[in-house]
Structure 1
Amino acid sequence: MPTPAPDGIHKRSLLRDDVYESIRDAIVDGTFGPGERLKDPELEAWLGVSRTPIREALLRLERAGLIVAQPGRATIVTPVDPASTISAQQVVAAMHELAARLAVPSVTGHQLAAMAEANSRFETALGDDDVELALAADDDFHSVFIGACGNEMIPDVLEQALPLLRRVERQRFGSRSGRHSVTVHAEIIRLAGMGDSDGAALASRENWLSLGTEKPDAG
């Protein structure tokens, strides 16, 4: 797809994270498709920032495996690579397993209610075929354990590994197979409410390891 028309999305004073997130999201949602060349001048015009934050963002995106930079030639959006996706999936699953194990002993009723509310929004979004809202609700659900676990390294690791899975998540939540996660989320909440940190941790891990493996329901 062509680079989006300039929208004045960012002022020069905004953080480099905004630039990174805008390019990352455009890759994840398919605005920039696999194999597409990313050109600095077009990105600068689109985002309204100088080349420096663009280059910093591209370096981060390369480390995340979403682009490959060919020195002196081009910067290209990577295809969805099964091996890389599985590697990222294993890391993300392990981080969520650890977060659940650490968080459950101290999780509050208010936090469990927040997870249940997020899962309800998630189910509604899936029923409405609204992938964006489904992703946001899923993030809200999992962020409860991440925020409560007390390990500040977990979000850093997830920021590195999760973008590679986003393209797979979008496919899953756009199909009937994503409905399975609603049931798994409810089970995680139930186990956490019982204080079963091992059970909640294992259920969280399996939830991420199942990503992309379910077959769509018939009909």
Structure 2
Amino acid sequence: MPIPKNFTPQIRLSAKEKAFNQLQRWIVDGTLEPGEKVTDIDLAEALGVSRTPVREALQLLESQGFVEMRPGKETKITSIHPDDVLTVYPPLAQLQALAAEMAAPLLTSEEIAELKALTADYELAVKHENIHEAAELDEHFHNLITDVANNPYVRQFSDVLQLHIRRMKYVFLNQSASPKLQSAREHWQMIDALEKNNPEKAAEMMKQNWLRPMKDIHQLLKEGKK
């Protein structure tokens, strides 16, 4: 796929941050396709920056598993395999469960109310088959809990793993693989546990919320590769 020429640049960022954020976005949403070869010259021209910040950004993306670099030979976007879902989901489920456990005694009544509002909106989005809106609301729900947990390492690694999962969905999943209301029911159970300051139950429901769909998504990815 050709590198996009027209996009809204981000402001108040260093050249390296600008390159990193935009390249990561293009990789996650499939604009830069799995297995596609890229060059720092073309990317620098598209982004309107020099080659140095692009190379630095690519090195960071390689450390996150989005890019494969062979110095002096080629740089390409990492391919996606169906079994990757079985590698990504379990550690993310553990991290998110830890976040829920840590957040339980810290959540304010206002934050609980926000979690309820996000879940109600998520239910409506699913019922109306607004798939992208539902996915965004689901991410906001999980990110709020992770933010309250106030552990930068949990947040950092969760964010990277969630990006990999989002990338899989963009590349392979179609609208027939819509989010299910079961996820909303798990959210309500999680909120109930958090509101009652029950860290163990909140962690249990969080872990279930991530691991339950893993097998279904894995099967869909396998079918998408046929």
Instruction: Identify the TM-score tier after normalising by the shorter chain.
Output: 0.7 to 0.9
SS at match of 2:13: coil
Task: Give the equivalent residue in structure 1 for 2:159.
Answer: 159
**Which runs of 5 or more structure 2 residues have no equivalent in the other structure?**
220-226
Distance 1:89 1:53 in 2: 31
Q: Given that residues 89 and 214 in structure 2 are in contact (C-alpha distance below 8 angstroms), is that contact kept between their aligned partners in structure 1?
A: no
Task: Report the alpha carbon displacement of residue 127 of structure 1 after superposing the two structures with TM.
Answer: 4.1
- Of the structure 1 ranges 22-31 and 127-136, higher mean CA displacement relative to structure 2 is found in 127-136
Q: Taking structure 2 as the reference length, what is the TM-score of the superposition?
A: 0.83
Letter in 2 for 1:210: R
Task: Give the equivalent residue in structure 1 for 2:222.
Answer: none
Letter in 1 for 2:119: N
Task: Give the equivalent residue in structure 2 for 1:64.
Answer: 64
Task: Give the equivalent residue in structure 2 for 1:195.
Answer: 197
Task: Report the alpha carbon displacement of residue 169 of structure 1 after superposing the two structures with TM.
Answer: 4.3
Q: Taking structure 1 as the reference length, what is the TM-score of the superposition?
A: 0.85
Task: Report the alpha carbon displacement of residue 195 of structure 1 after superposing the two structures with TM.
Answer: 2.0
Task: Report the alpha carbon displacement of residue 58 of structure 1 after superposing the two structures with TM.
Answer: 1.1
Task: Give the equivalent residue in structure 2 for 1:143.
Answer: 143
- Of the structure 1 ranges 204-213 and 56-65, higher mean CA displacement relative to structure 2 is found in 204-213
Over the matched positions of the two proteins, sequence identity in percent amounts to 28
Q: Given that residues 131 and 173 in structure 1 are in contact (C-alpha distance below 8 angstroms), is that contact kept between their aligned partners in structure 2?
A: no
Task: Give the equivalent residue in structure 1 for 2:33.
Answer: 33
Higher RCO (CA 8 Å, separation ≥ 6 residues): 2
Q: Given that residues 169 and 211 in structure 1 are in contact (C-alpha distance below 8 angstroms), is that contact kept between their aligned partners in structure 2?
A: no
- How many corresponding residue pairs? 215
Q: Given that residues 65 and 78 in structure 1 are in contact (C-alpha distance below 8 angstroms), is that contact kept between their aligned partners in structure 2?
A: yes
Distance 2:56 2:7 in 1: 21
Distance 2:156 2:176 in 1: 29
Distance 1:113 1:97 in 2: 20
Q: CA RMSD in A?
A: 2.5
**Which runs of 5 or more structure 1 residues have no equivalent in the other structure?**
none
- Of the structure 1 ranges 195-204 and 18-27, higher mean CA displacement relative to structure 2 is found in 18-27
Task: Report the alpha carbon displacement of residue 36 of structure 1 after superposing the two structures with TM.
Answer: 0.7
Task: Report the alpha carbon displacement of residue 2 of structure 1 after superposing the two structures with TM.
Answer: 1.1
Task: Report the alpha carbon displacement of residue 129 of structure 1 after superposing the two structures with TM.
Answer: 4.3
